[in-house]
Chains A and B, each alone.
Chain A
């Protein structure tokens, strides 16, 4: 995660060039973020868009928007969470500037069913908001705090949502995997 306190320190001493300097530094950080994390963005967003191809398009568009709208980043949180918010809005076709809501997550979710059919089935049964939190946790590898920042919700709400998702997944996996093993009894 990129720390952004440096930007605020830098801009204070260079008021005349503030915009330019901030944009210059931010561009390099966006590039750094893209090179480091674009794969994770694609993997997570594929679960929303339905394919890796379309997820790649979403990631490209999200970073284009981030570059164009650098002033939209107020430096109050992490740059990555800000880009995640843009990317998820692009993925779900929401262009508004309002806060992202987990309720906006569509029912469709893409996961490779062949790799782990039991887990894939269990994930499909999750309500949208729990599924979104799970995807951000395990596909995007975000911490609870980062998920909260991305979705604009409290860390405690993230913890509660993930806790409920874990229990639901556990119950579903238990039911399916127990039945698969009962023949051994």
Chain B
């Protein structure tokens, strides 16, 4: 479950929560029969002393926090090279357009999306990765890197692959683990010839996983995954020079965008298309519009997705912007402003269609396609 869904469920539960009655601490003290009069000054003195300690502690914590924030800000500045919005005219797409996936890895550092790290390594040497910040608290997704690209040599691909094999988790069958032992959620996928091994852990959806049959990770399995994450998040620290064809971190420029349109639950494609400006409707009506089903806490939903070239995507974007849709402030169900342009692509319409009921509303997302997608 994502942070978003966790927050949504929390909001729905808060609506169910009854209003608490007023408390009465004095009543508790009386009932506890405490002879407080002689002890109060000492308690107060200790309390004050503890407060001072807390102030000192808080000051130290603040310094540490500022330091950490500064470090994060520097890192965010250095690595914030992913494309914001759609690929600009003249940006050269990553080549080749398609790629054979060798391995992928996702590691959650919190209960939800903030901090999530993902990397995908391709047979042609491309290593495409991103780190997700706490986008619910930033207006431009500044803490997220967006998809970035580096290039490995065949030796480098093999070394990364060996690193994954060294965990001991991909030598047998697929593995479905629970969270715990410091693991929140994640998955890894290794393809070796005809063999494919998939490992998942924690609160993550997998249609092929039986929740009841999941096992607790052993401390060894957990530490192997944590170590793998540390290695894959910082490959420059251990990969030799000959592992890199091009270690420079560049924005990943897609060749196409997956454009997904969604109306309220149960509404047919034609009616959803009709809610768009005519030019946008015509442009998308000419596409294949493959249904894509997803399930979250509000149920199962269908979006229709098309693959558009960068030129087509930009043309559609212009039409939507000309209709004034790009200027309309977008908010999620909690009232947070959601950027229409971010390192995750481009968004028009309402943010979370699954929770809306107005049949004239729609949600339209442009997502950069990765080499093994589309």
- Asked if B10 lies at the interface with its beta carbon under 8 angstroms from chain A, I say yes
A177 to B1, CA, bound (A): 19
Asked whether B264 lies within 8 Å of A181 as measured between CB atoms, the reply is yes
- Stretch from B114-122, B132-140, B173-181, B233-241 that touches the partner: B173-181
Q: Tell me whether B18 and A34 are in contact (CB under 8 A).
A: no
A147 to B213, CA, bound (A): 23
Chain A residue nearest to B211 in the complex (CB) = A164
Measured between beta carbons, the chain B residues less than 8 angstroms from A93 are none
Could you mark each residue 177-189 of chain B with 1 if its beta carbon is under 8 Å from any beta carbon of chain A, else 0? Answer: 0111100000000
Interface string of A155-173 (1 = CB under 8 A from B): 1110110111011011001
In the complex the two chains form, what is the Cα distance from A62 to B16 in whole Å? 24
What's the tally of chain B residues with a CB closer than 8 Å to chain A?
58
CB-nearest residue of chain A to B21 = A56
**A residues near B1, Cβ cutoff 8 Å:** 163, 166
The answer to whether A185 has its CB under 8 Å from any CB of chain B is yes
* Contact A159–B203 (Cβ < 8 Å): yes
B359 within 8 A of A: yes
Interface residues on A, range: 35 or more
State the Cβ distance, B27 to closest chain A Cβ, in Å.
Answer: 6
Return A183 CB to nearest CB of chain B, in Å.
Answer: 8
A173 and B297 contact, CB distance less than 8 A = yes
Contact B264 A184 (CB under 8 A): yes
Q: Are A64 and B297 in contact (CB under 8 A)?
A: no
A3 vs chain B, min Cβ distance (A): 8
Instruction: List the A side residues contacting B359 at CB < 8 Å.
Output: 184
Q: Tell me which of A36-44, A71-79, A98-106 binds B.
A: A36-44
Q: Which of A15-40 contact B (CB under 8 A)?
A: 20-21, 23-25, 27-28, 31, 34-35, 38-40
Q: Which secondary structure dominates where chain A touches chain B?
A: helix
Check if A21 sits within 8 Å of B46, measured CB to CB.
yes
> Is residue B242 contacting chain A, with contact meaning CB distance below 8 A?
no
Cβ–Cβ contact A60 & B43, under 8 A: no
Are A112 and B17 in contact, CB atoms less than 8 angstroms apart? yes
Against B, the Cβ 8 Å flags (1 = close, 0 = not) of A44-68 are: 0010000011011001100110011
Indicate whether A116 sits within 8 Å of B12 (C-beta atoms), given known contacts A162-B203, A178-B266: yes
CB contact between A184 and one of B27, B47, B266 (< 8 Å): that residue: B266
A126 within 8 A of B: no
Cβ of B177 to closest chain A Cβ, rounded Å: 9
Q: By the criterion CB–CB under 8 Å, are B42 and A24 in contact?
A: yes
Q: Which of A25, A53, A162 contacts B43 (CB 8 A)?
A: A25
A82 on the interface (CB 8 Å rule)? no
Q: Which residues of A contact B211 (CB under 8 A)?
A: 160, 163-164, 167
Residues of A within 8 A of B39 (CB): 20, 23-24
**Known contacts A52-B20, A178-B300: A28-B47 contact under CB 8 Å:** yes
B266 CB contact (under 8 Å) in A166, A175, A185: A185
With contacts A38-B20, A162-B203 taken as known, whether A169 is within 8 angstroms of B46 at the C-beta atoms is: no
A96 contacts chain B at the CB level, 8 A cutoff: no
Interface centre among A52, A56, A138, A183 (most CB of B within 10 A): A138
How long is the Cα–Cα vector from A178 to B299 in the complex, in angstroms? 7
For the complex, is B265 an interface residue (Cβ under 8 Å from A)?
yes
In the complex, the answer to whether B111 meets A144 with C-beta atoms within 8 Å is yes
Shortest Cβ distance from B357 into chain A, in angstroms? Answer: 7
A166 to B41, alpha carbons, bound, how many Å? 49
The segment out of B28-36, B62-70, B73-81 that lies at the interface is B28-36
Closest 5 CB pairs of A and B: A156-B180, A24-B43, A174-B299, A159-B179, A138-B13
Contact surface of B with A, Cβ cutoff 8 Å: 1, 5, 9-10, 12-21, 23-25, 27-29, 31-34, 36, 39, 42-44, 46-47, 50, 53, 111, 178-181, 202-203, 211-212, 214, 216-217, 264-268, 295-300, 357, 359
A-B contacts, 8 of them at CB < 8 A, read A21-B46, A39-B23, A52-B18, A112-B16, A156-B179, A156-B217, A167-B211, A185-B266
